[in-house]
Amino acid sequence: MAKVLCVLYDDPENGYPTSYARDDLPHIAHYPGGQSLPAPQGIDFTPGHLLGSVSGELGLRAFLESRGHTLVVTSDKDGENSAFDRELPDADVVISQPFWPAYLTPERLARAANLKLAVTAGIGSDHVDLDAAIEHDVTVAEVTFCNSISVAEHVAMTILSLVRNYLPSHRRVLDGGWNIADCVARSYDLEGMHVGTVAAGRIGLAVLRRLKPFDVHLHYTDRHRLPPEVEEELGLVFHPTTADMVPACDVVTVNAPLHPETEGMFDDELIATMKRGAYLINTARARICDRDAVVRALESGQLAGYAGDVWFPQPAGPDHPWRTMPHHGMTPHISGSSLSAQARYAAGTREILESWLDGTPIRPEYLIVQGGKLAGTGAHSYSVAKDHG
């Protein structure tokens, strides 16, 4: 029988919900492009409920225990003698979310003698050291596309919030103020701006589609160029590199995975080539942007705003400079963990577990590493630092 170790974020401060703002979720037949939604053999949860916190357990307990497996759920993942570290040595499966990542470092993977499967309940598996997973023959899987549109909606919301100076204006109302001039002194229209995405995969392309009706000029860069008919449909300008694209843009949104080629990409040098007063949005991974370079650019006015919901480490400490830097719109890592998305990534996690436990193939689009090498989506999206061939 398998031991499944699941790391989830804490319950709400006032306790696990007993009721919700809405009674149901809209029906979605399939993802854009036709990929089918997760299709587990069954579910033991109510879609629209809080599944991503400790008490939600991703709806997995009844399923796993009915088959005789053990489920351990914790939010304690960091620091000396964490519950995660105590439970890891004999775990067969580790599940965690990008929003509350259980970092599977080379040291942890070396101690996890029984580990065979690492599942990301969501998308983005960079909290797993992929080189070490390859070395230890650990399969890595994620629920591809489950929250891509959720993140794309967050990006569109954040761009408008920054450009229109929404958050400071809302804060003025909460504080009892009314001065209109203070609110609009940093407010602009998005219409007519040049907006570019670093990477135009599922999230990046969805962002471009959502921004098209705002009558903006759209740019993108990606290692895989989009089909000509898509470029024509959206009026896209392709740039071979990020360095080529950012000087042309008023807004840049980062939608790329974290790997050696993207880590630290937005440093002082690259940000200096952007238009003065440009906006930078990063809902991908924090380490794609140099933490202190972002702070310096906001303080100098080179950037008019920075927003996103990804930090390093996660959760960020109370003294993290992104909490107090000027003109930011940061949130905790929430963009891909809406209640709508949770229903999909919980179902996808169960589908992956069903396949693994039954010895049937895991969908290729869910695979990142398998058989000691990058596989499926991982082979398309990631790179590794070492040659394991």
- The whole-model pTM stands at 0.94
pLDDT at 381: 80
* Tokens of residue 311, six digits: 């930090």
Tally of CB atoms within 10 A around 337: 26
pLDDT in tens, 53-107: 999 999 999 999 999 999 999 999 998 899 999 999 999 999 999 999 999 999 9
Inform me whether the pLDDT recorded for 11 exceeds 60. Answer: yes
Sign of CA dihedral 161, 342, 53, 140: negative
Residues belonging to the active site: 147, 285, 314, 333
pLDDT band at 386 (very low <50, low <70, confident <90, very high): low
Exposure letters 86-101 (e unless 16+ CB within 10 A, then b)? ebbeebbbbbbbbbbb
pLDDT in tens, 169-210: 999 999 999 999 999 999 999 999 999 999 999 999 999 999
Mean pLDDT of the chain: 96
pLDDT at 389: 37
- The answer to whether 121 and 346 have CB atoms below 8 angstroms apart is yes
Of the candidates 220, 242, 336, 236, which has an alpha carbon nearest to the alpha carbon of residue 288? 242
Cα 162 from Cα 329, distance rounded (Å) = 7
Q: Is 367 exposed, middle or buried (0-12, 13-18, 19+ CB in 10 A)?
A: buried
Inform me whether the pLDDT recorded for 342 exceeds 90. Answer: yes
- Mean pLDDT across the stretch 121-130? 94
Inform me whether the pLDDT recorded for 385 exceeds 70. Answer: no
> For the packed helices 148-163 and 202-211, what is the interaxial angle rounded to 10 degrees?
50
* Tokens of residue 206, six digits: 């969805």
Strand 139-142 and strand 367-370: the pairing is antiparallel
Inform me whether the pLDDT recorded for 388 exceeds 50. Answer: no
Of the candidates 335, 208, 227, 215, which has an alpha carbon nearest to the alpha carbon of residue 284? 335
Q: Which secondary structure element, helix H or strand E, spans residue 259, and what is its range? A: none
Cα 161 from Cα 168, distance rounded (Å) = 9
Give the DSSP letter string of 147-180.
THHHHHHHHHHHHHHHHTTHHHHHHHHHTT---H
Q: Is the peptide bond before 364 cis (omega within 30 degrees of 0)?
A: no
Of the candidates 197, 177, 199, 150, which has an alpha carbon nearest to the alpha carbon of residue 338? 150
pLDDT band at 380 (very low <50, low <70, confident <90, very high): confident
What residues contact residue 107 under an 8 Å CB cut-off, 6+ apart? none
